[in-house]
Amino acid sequence: MSDLDDLRDLIAWWRLRKTLASEGATQRRRITYHLAQRWIDAIRKEAEKTGETQGDILDRALRFYFGDSIDIAHRLVMQKAETLNKP
C-alpha cells in the first residue's frame, strides 16, 4: 500500500467522522434497557477506544442494524483501518 492510498483512506475516514459528528446533534432522551453484560462491556470498550460517548456507540449500532448506509461505510473504513494496523 502506498502513502497515497493511506492518505486517501485517511481523508475518507475524516469525512465520514465529520458526517457522523453532524448527525450526533439529534435530540436524545434517557431510557433504560436491560442488556447482557457482554454488550455493556463491548459498548464501554468501543467508546474508550474511539473517544465517543457510549450513546454514540449505541446510536451507530442501532443505525447499522436498521440499515443506515453511512454506518455501513463507517464499518468498512474501520475494518480496513484494522487490517492496516495488523503486522
Give me the sign of the Cα torsion angle 13, 16, 21, 27.
negative
- Residue 85 — pLDDT band, cuts 50, 70, 90? low
Q: What is the arithmetic mean of pLDDT over 21-29?
A: 67
Of 11-15, 71-75, 78-82, give the lowest mean pLDDT range. 71-75
Q: What is the arithmetic mean of pLDDT over 32-42?
A: 95
Q: What is the arithmetic mean of pLDDT over 27-45?
A: 91
What residues have CB less than 8 Å from 73, skipping those under 6 apart?
A: 16
pTM: 0.51
Place of cell 494496523: 85
